[in-house]
Amino acid sequence: MQSIKITNLAKTYGRHQAVDNLNLEIKKGELFGFLGPNGAGKTTTIKMLTGLLEPTSGTAEIHGIDMWKKPLEAKKRIAYVPDQPNLYPKLTGWDYLEFVASVFQVPQQQFQQKAKEMLHLFNLTKQANDLIESYSHGMKQKIAICGALVHEPDVLFLDEPTVGLDPKSARTLKNLLRELCDNGMTAFVSTHILEIAEQMCDRVGIILDGRIIALDTMAELKSSGGDSNLSLEDIFLELTGGEDQQALINEITDEGERR
């Protein structure tokens, strides 16, 4: 069963083609890594998939439900954590979680149990009654993740989820995502940290100039590159032209050393 189905999805701004006729299917329980350089179309794609940005053409389906024909029905099944979470500073962490749970009509007893579990997991229990405006960036990121998971979504979208997280919290998130996906949730994760994608994702898609230029498991990507010792970083740089830039950096550095 496909949790996410993208068909000829496109977004244009004037003459600029931000996303160019994407076609992609992601299965239930898959942890999918969505990679690309700045401006490649990652966030634009996620915003179309989550109903925040209307496509110029094409469709985005969540569990067979068209996001733009039946948005409320589709959005009941998802959660989204952007790279800069937009939280309510005058709410406490607990109030924020309770607000999110009320939007998704989570029963009170179920909410209480899930909220306490999430807060404990991310070491926020003691700060749960503090105002969000007093939180550090990392704490805001963690409470946003807790809020995204409090209604137990079928599909979770994460845009740069580890930005601002300390190593322990980043590890907690990685382990949690793996466990949730093994239990049937689908995760669509955009990240610049290639090691994270390499370690935890079932499949990886690389987007460049609005088009997917590679899509496969890590094993298959390495196999197609002809070298099983290649890292995801090696593959990414080769496909996106980053190797040329690195060669130029090395050349400049070598020239500086010679001087």
- Closest CA relative to residue 98, chosen from 147, 163, 161: 147
* pLDDT for the residue numbered 244: 47
**Biggest CA pair distance of the chain:** 69
Dihedral angle, C-alpha 226, 230, 231, 235, nearest 10 °: -40
Least confident window among 68-77, 114-123, 235-244:
235-244
CB neighbours (10 Å) of residue 255?
A: 9
Q: Is the dihedral of CA 78, 79, 83, 88 positive or negative?
A: positive
CB-based contact 81:47 (threshold 8 Å): no
Average pLDDT over residues 218-246: 73
Whether the pLDDT of residue 249 is over 70: the answer is: no
For residue 2, what pLDDT band results from cuts at 50, 70 and 90?
confident
Q: In sequence order, what are the residues at sequence separation of 6 or more whose Cβ sits closer than 8 angstroms to the Cβ of residue 67?
A: 48, 49, 50, 51, 59, 60, 61, 74, 75
Overall average pLDDT of the 68-85 stretch: 93
Q: What is the Cα–Cα distance from 193 to 6, expressed in whole angstroms? A: 24
Per-residue model confidence (pLDDT) at position 198: 84
Angle, in degrees to the nearest 10, between helices 167-182 and 137-149? 10
Which pTM was predicted?
0.88
Residue range 175-208, pLDDT digits in tens: 999 999 999 999 999 987 787 788 889 999 999 9
* pLDDT surpassing 80 at residue 253: no
Q: What is the pLDDT of residue 228?
A: 65
| Distance separating alpha carbons of residues 31 and 177, to the nearest angstrom | 8
The pLDDT assigned to 252 comes to 41
Give the pLDDT band of residue 61 (cuts 50, 70, 90).
very high
